[in-house]
């Protein structure tokens, strides 16, 4: 499994509804007003979306706190990763990371240099310093998938300075930004930078992986390049329409943050009681787990037999079969997973 969420490939192994802990989606679902907005605007489908997405960019700009012409939009975050990374010859990326930081540039015949993280999945800044040269693209997940770690403000500022010094470019993927405790806003930090692009998306926090809405902040120079590169009408009308509803739903946003905060705390406390695993501290709505006994395949199959799908993590660069990744879901689902994990380790070892 290269990505989470591939329920269809495993459904035959369990009778009934599988609980999907493999994809990291807000357990509260999408904002409740969305359905009516889509129904009310259904007939917009018979027209092309605005090829310049003027209204969408205005709404995203207000949400991100930047100018309209600093906003880029994509068919999901991966479209933005693809369009930006395709413009550089050499990509530098700390691993483990989201697989598409590696796969998309490779598809465009670019060189990808992977720098293993240090213990506890800390970015190896010295290694980046030794590696980064003029014209490179440095890609950072912030927070990073699958490790769940947000980059310290000082470290990010230092890396940005290094990027400027080396005449390189920095792509920061913040698809999970809203799940984190607010510490700093990278858009605020790098508002005037010519060398940064910051990706966010509706996919995870607004629980809309199906709608395909990614967006980002970058310099006005880069938005012009990006708009040429992106295919015309890359955002569908529903995604275009949805933004005005979801990005302004402050009640949903604060309720989701609070819910995840509580459940994350509950999950970490419970997981730390299981001595056969090491659960890495996370800023996110997902948790990377090191299995001290057994392998991803065993536990995957056991949990599947219980109607739970987790993410085997060996498909991430640098991780072996002793890692799994789980999402933080609803209270009941989380309790069910904890119960099943306890049962697994009691039974198997």
Residues that bind its own copies (CB under 8 A): 3-8, 20, 23, 25, 29-30, 35, 38-39, 42-51, 54, 75-76, 78-79, 82, 100, 104, 107, 207-212, 228-229, 231-234, 236-240
For residues 233 and 314, the answer to whether their CB atoms sit within 8 Å is: no
**Least gap, CB of 212 to its own copies (angstroms):** 4
Contacts of 104 (CB under 8 A, 6+ apart): 78, 81, 82, 85, 86
Report the SS3 class of residue 286: strand
- Give Cβ neighbours of residue 108 (< 8 Å, ≥ 6 apart): 85, 86
Nearer to its own copies, 230 or 291 (CB): 230
Tracing tokens 């917009």 back to the chain, one arrives at 44
Measured from the CB atom, is 195 or 213 closer to its own copies? 213
Torsion 196-112-73-69 (CA) sign: positive
Find the shortest distance in angstroms from Cβ 7 to its own copies. 7
Task: For helices 331-348 and 296-305, give the axis angle rounded to 10 degrees.
Answer: 120
Q: How far is the CB of 333 from its own copies (least distance, A)?
A: 14
* Closer of 37 and 122 to its own copies (Cβ): 37
Buried/exposed 2-14: b ≥16 CB within 10 Å, e otherwise: eebeeeeebeeeb
Residue in the block written with tokens 């695993």: 277
Helices (H), the chain: 34-40, 54-64, 77-85, 100-107, 125-131, 153-165, 186-189, 220-229, 237-246, 250-272, 296-305, 331-348
**β-strand partners of 198:** 172, 217
Least CB distance to its own copies at residue 341 (A): 23
| Residue 4 or 141 having the CB closest to its own copies | 4
Report, in Å, the least distance between residue 220 CB and its own copies: 20
Considering beta carbons, is residue 7 or 304 the nearer one to its own copies? 7
CB of 235 to its own copies, least distance (A): 8
- 24 or 144, CB closer to its own copies? 24
Q: Output the smallest distance, CB 234 to its own copies, in A.
A: 6
Do 196 and 172 meet the contact criterion of CB atoms below 8 Å apart? yes
| C-beta of 38 vs 158, nearer to its own copies | 38
Tokens of 259: 């819910």
Instruction: Rank residues 186 and 241 by Cβ distance to its own copies and give the closer one.
Output: 241
């Amino acid at each position: 499994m290269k990505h989470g969420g591939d329920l269809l490939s495993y459904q035959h192994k369990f009778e009934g509804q599988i609980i999907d802990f493999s994809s990291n989606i807000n357990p509260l679902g999408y904002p409740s007003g969305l359905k009516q907005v889509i129904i009310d605007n259904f007939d917009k489908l018979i027209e092309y979306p605005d090829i310049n997405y003027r209204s969408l960019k205005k709404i995203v700009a207000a949400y991100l706190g930047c100018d309209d012409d600093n906003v880029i939009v994509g068919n999901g975050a991966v479209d933005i990763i693809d369009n930006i990374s395709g413009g550089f010859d050499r990509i530098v990326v700390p691993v483990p990371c989201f697989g598409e930081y590696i796969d998309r540039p490779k598809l465009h015949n670019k060189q990808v240099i992977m720098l293993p993280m240090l213990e506890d999945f800390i970015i190896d800044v010295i290694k980046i310093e030794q590696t980064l040269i003029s014209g490179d693209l440095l890609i950072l997940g912030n927070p990073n998938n699958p490790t769940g770690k947000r980059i310290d403000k000082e470290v990010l500022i230092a890396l940005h300075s290094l990027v400027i010094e080396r005449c390189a470019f920095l792509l920061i993927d913040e698809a999970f930004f809203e799940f984190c405790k607010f510490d700093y806003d990278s858009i605020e930090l790098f508002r005037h930078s010519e060398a940064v692009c910051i990706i966010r998306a509706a996919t995870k926090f607004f629980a809309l992986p199906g709608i395909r809405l990614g967006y980002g902040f970058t310099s006005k120079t880069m938005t012009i390049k990006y708009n040429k590169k992106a295919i015309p009408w890359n955002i569908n009308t529903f995604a275009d329409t949805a933004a005005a509803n979801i990005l302004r739903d402050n009640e949903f946003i604060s309720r989701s943050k609070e819910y995840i905060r509580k459940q994350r705390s509950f999950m970490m406390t419970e997981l730390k009681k299981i001595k056969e695993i090491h659960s890495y501290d996370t800023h996110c709505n997902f948790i990377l787990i090191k299995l001290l006994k057994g392998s991803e395949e065993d536990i995957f199959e056991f949990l599947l037999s219980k109607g739970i799908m987790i993410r085997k993590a060996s498909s991430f660069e640098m991780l072996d079969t002793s890692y799994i990744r789980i999402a933080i879901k609803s209270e009941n689902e989380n309790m069910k997973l904890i119960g099943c994990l306890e049962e697994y380790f009691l039974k198997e070892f």
